[in-house]
Amino acid sequence: MNVFLTKPNKKVFPKVLIVIIIFVFIAILNLFQNQFKNFFYFVSEPLQKTFWKTGGNTSNIFVSFLETSKLAEVNKELNIKNQELLQEISTLQNEKMENQALKEIVNIEQEKKFQLILADVMGVDSYQDYILIDKGSENGISENMPVINSQKVLFGKVFKVYKNYSKVMLISNKNNTLNIKIQKDDTLSPPIYGLVRGENNFTAILDTVPLDREIKNEDVLITSSLEGTFPRDLLVGKITEVQKDDLKPFQTAKIELFFNLKQADKLFIISDYKVEN
């Protein structure tokens, strides 16, 4: 007779066994977590891509319907902006001629530096500000590679690589900090540098800008490449509200990030960026 399997023990035993099985199962899942996650993404990829595209199209219909009433106002604003831009164009035409030759050389150099890998967005983890793309280690992706779109708008960097898929940490992720430069018309004054800190929910703030430097709304932020992860001159965002407090050593600002996930079907991963000296 088995002395351990008395009547009360017989009732408890199956429950304990179930708990043990669950924990062993969790341990196995964690041991092979990269393979499991890669497999799940592989199986769900067709459905996920279809839903992603359908969602984008449906939301576009909603947005265009909701914004119809604003069209007149937007049109008026655009007309004014257009006139201003026309004036600017004529001024810039002359400068463009002078800079053309120099620019071409710089561009060629930059093209040489960037090897791009095209990837499709499959999904978004909006709780932690990550996106899932359909390229992984098999396609030459590795951690920390910068991710941009065709307009050179910075999205973030590759954070986790699976065999066929990767997770990209957006610049709005709360664990992300990024060195930026504020683009100014006045090229004679020294450049203004700062730090963009992610705040989750696809938002970020500008920090550590010295108090004596003047920044204003609509100023554009570009990467400065000081941290060595991102190439310089990638578009980051623009300032929407400057917050100056004389008691603090630095000024901060609310910013609007340029990346738009709703229009981000195709992204590019810079696969061979080398830190500039």
Partner 1 sequence: MWIKLLIIFLLFSLLAILQTSFLTHFNIAQTSPNLIFILFYLIVFFENSQKYIQGIFSAIMAGFFLDILSLLYFGTSFIYLLIITFILKYILDLLNNNKGEYQIIHFTALFTIFFIIYNLLHLTPVFSRFFLIEITYNLFFAILGFYIYKKFKLYA
Is residue 152 near partner 1 by the rule CB under 8 A? no
Helix (H) or strand (E) run with residue 131 in it: strand 130-133
Q: Which two tokens stand for residue 262?
A: 């709703």
CB of 266 to partner 1, least distance (A): 15
Query: Is residue 7 exposed (0-12), middle (13-18) or buried (19+ Cβ within 10 Å)?
Result: exposed
Strand, helix or coil for residue 190: coil
Token look-up 């709005």 returns: 172
# residues near partner 1 by CB under 8 A: 39
Is residue 48 near partner 1 by the rule CB under 8 A? yes
Is residue 208 near partner 1 by the rule CB under 8 A? no
Q: Specify the stretch interacting with partner 1 by CB under 8 A; choose among 18-26, 133-141, 142-150, 231-239.
A: 18-26
84: which strand partners? none
Is residue 37 near partner 1 by the rule CB under 8 A? yes
When the beta carbons of 4 and 62 are compared against partner 1, the nearer one is 62
Asked if 265 contacts 120 with a C-beta cutoff of 8 angstroms, the reply is yes
What does the alpha-carbon distance between residue 143 and residue 273 come to, in Å, rounded to a whole number?
Answer: 12
When the beta carbons of 171 and 215 are compared against partner 1, the nearer one is 171
Among 10, 113, 216, 262, binds partner 1 (CB under 8 A): 262
Q: Specify the stretch interacting with partner 1 by CB under 8 A; choose among 36-44, 66-74, 139-147, 226-234.
A: 36-44
CB of 143 to partner 1, least distance (A): 12
Among 36, 42, 193, 250, binds partner 1 (CB under 8 A): 36
Q: Alpha-carbon Rg of the chain, whole angstroms?
A: 25
Q: Which two tokens stand for residue 81?
A: 């902006």
Asked if 57 contacts 49 with a C-beta cutoff of 8 angstroms, the reply is no
CB of 124 to partner 1, least distance (A): 4
Is residue 40 near partner 1 by the rule CB under 8 A? yes
Is residue 201 near partner 1 by the rule CB under 8 A? yes
What does the alpha-carbon distance between residue 132 and residue 66 come to, in Å, rounded to a whole number?
Answer: 29
What does the alpha-carbon distance between residue 3 and residue 72 come to, in Å, rounded to a whole number?
Answer: 86
Site for partner 1 in 59-118 (CB under 8 A): 59, 62
Q: Which of 211, 210, 205, 212 is nearest to 239 (CA)?
A: 205
Is residue 16 near partner 1 by the rule CB under 8 A? no
Asked if 168 contacts 155 with a C-beta cutoff of 8 angstroms, the reply is yes
Instruction: Enumerate the H helices of 203-273 as residue ranges.
Output: none
CB of 264 to partner 1, least distance (A): 10
* Interacting residues toward partner 1 by CB under 8 A: 22-23, 26, 29-30, 33, 36-37, 40, 44, 47-49, 51-52, 54-56, 58-59, 62, 122-128, 130, 132, 159-160, 167, 200-203, 261-262
